[in-house]
């Protein structure tokens, strides 16, 4: 499996976990934007952004285009 496919799978898994948590009891804005280090969402936004950016970079490399 290519790196891009692996990263897309990771994004989908992250989305599923986020949706499940949101459906179970909701997500407070504070917990999403400034979570405590022991919370499940700690580092979520940063990790998601890193993975998504890498997927975009790989897609541009495949097509020979630039961002």
Residue 35 token pair: 């979570």
List of the chain residues with pLDDT < 50: none
Q: What is the pLDDT of residue 64?
A: 87
Q: What is the pLDDT of residue 1?
A: 75
Listed in sequence order, the residues at least 6 apart from 55 whose beta carbon sits closer than 8 Å to its beta carbon are: 4, 7, 8, 11
Q: Name the residue range of residue 39's domain.
A: 3-63
Q: What is the pLDDT of residue 7?
A: 97
**What is the total count of domains within the chain?**
1
Q: What is the pLDDT of residue 3?
A: 94
Q: What is the pLDDT of residue 19?
A: 94
Distance from C-alpha of 21 to C-alpha of 15, rounded to nearest angstrom = 10
């Amino acid at each position: 499996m290519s790196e891009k496919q692996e990263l897309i799978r990771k994004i989908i898994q992250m989305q599923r976990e986020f949706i499940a948590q949101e459906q179970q009891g909701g997500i407070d804005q504070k917990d999403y934007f400034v979570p405590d280090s022991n919370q499940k969402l700690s580092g979520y936004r940063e990790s998601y952004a890193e993975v998504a950016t890498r997927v975009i970079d790989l897609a541009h490399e495949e097509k020979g285009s630039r961002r």
